[in-house]
Structure 1
């Protein structure tokens, strides 16, 4: 079994004024994202998945699968602190058409490696879908544990590294697993170039910057690391730096980018969410102005 590689953006979920899912905007987001040449799409924390009802999760996944039409793999996060609900979510995702699952270990209690492996084994047996293991702050996965999981649960073929420091963690993971898992970066993708040098084979950023990340990926594959780094430093990091300043500001920032591109009709973030204060709102407006290609072109002409 071969793990997934490349740029696999996480879709943001657009909402109507009544906070129902805006499927028209979602379909536009999918089409525009796929046009960039990405290698897959995902529904996960970046999609506010934890704010969706079980029915909404199923309906959104079906809508994504329907719109993608098999052009790239669709990955669904089915993490849950209990094995029974995690299995149920995984089975429902498989029935709705997901190509892969993404799962982090149970995070309610620290239960040790045997419990994690048992949890993942039950999910694997229930669906037979390949699994992207997620190394996150609330449930970190050491390289030693990743290797044990890879050997015990063959359907786990990829690991997404998001614990800090991500570059060092990617390096340690690649060294430890010896090719038994494909290693992807995460945490917004701002260190993709450094992770790639250490053996990462892709990342899972927000879909709002799919085009920029594909430019970085193509530059890396062509051996032009300087160009890849330039794109990260000038187009990706300014957005990431602002979005990760506090709370869940990143949702507001990336949805604003999609509104500016006329993909989303509005930038609503489902509650609970931290509203932007006046200073942050002004800073977001300035960021959007700087990142607007049309305005940059007009300034260059002037």
Structure 2
């Protein structure tokens, strides 16, 4: 996949596990097929994949399986963020070896040193890989629009900025104003504000992978200039689910995996530790939502 403009719907795949917490390869293959057949424009492996809970061999296993199953039909984005430059370079090199089409990286957050650390990392990546890069602006490692502009001017392979710090709508507007013509601005945070972000210059989003057909439909309406139809589809199919998924900690993992299990895409909804505990009220809310929508 040589060309990737980072526009459109690029869902983040969950990692399916069996009841013992082992990677369920068959479910992951089915999940890829489910999303590709829904018309998505790319697929991502990132924080929404519980990637930080995977061992290095498991990261390789997931990426290799996704790339093989996709078989060039859509681009595959691999998150190679790490607390140290050398680790990020090693992970990025390995991602390219295993067939990733792009990298996604957020600033080092354990001992942050500002944009200079990212400039150094991108210099290192220039000699280690040849993949385009999505720079990620996340709450645990926020990055200003001016810093993004500086990195974009310095590192030519920076192709997009994914905005997830709050308030995301205002941040998208600021990013779009600052890096217009240099980077594609895309949204995240479950795609909860994709319509508002689109109006302000975002040209893609990276939601969860449980409702790809709904997000693709909203996207197609936006591109066609029909915001009324986009809003109707979003409000009727996506909004209530995203609101429920955002209520507590990492509840979103549980919600989206249960949706996929209900839809017959993955076999189980196991979430690796650490994870939030679901109280009885929330469990009833999830069950009611599944009954209503699926």
Structure 1 residue 140: Cα displacement: 0.8
Which of the numbers 135, 140, 143 marks the counterpart of 1:141?
143
- Structure 2-normalised TM-score? 0.97
Alignment match, 2:25? 23
Contact 1:33 1:207 in 2 (8 A): yes
Q: Per the alignment, do residues 17 and 57 of structure 1 end up closer, same or farther by CA in structure 2, a change over 3 Å counting?
A: same
CA RMSD of aligned residues (A): 1.1
Q: How far apart, CA to CA, are the structure 2 residues paired with 1:272 and 1:136?
A: 20
Tell me how far 1:120 sits from its aligned partner: 2.5
Matched, 1:195 2:197: yes
What residue ranges of structure 1 are gaps of 5+ in the alignment?
293-302
- Structure 1 length as normaliser, TM-score? 0.95
Aligned to 1:173: 175
What is the 5 A alignment of 1:105-254? Answer: 105-254=107-256
In the TM superposition, structure 1's runs of 4+ consecutive aligned residues that sit over 3 Å from their partners are: none
Give the Å deviation of 1:119.
1.9
Segment of structure 1 superposing worse, 230-239 or 98-107: 230-239
Alpha-carbon offset, residue 164 of structure 1: 0.7
| Residues 4 and 75 in structure 2, CA contact (< 8 A), matched pair in contact too | no
For structure 2, the residue ranges without an aligned partner over 5 or more in a row are none
- 2:55 corresponds in structure 1 to 53
Instruction: Report the alpha carbon displacement of residue 2 of structure 1 after superposing the two structures with TM.
Output: 6.3
Distance 1:234 1:120 in 2: 42
Superposed displacement of residue 125, structure 1: 2.5
**Alignment deviations for residues 84-110 of structure 1 (CA, whole Å, 9 cap, x no partner):** 111110011111110100000111123
Cα distance in 2 between the residues matched to 1:31 and 1:84 = 34
What is the aligned length? Answer: 292
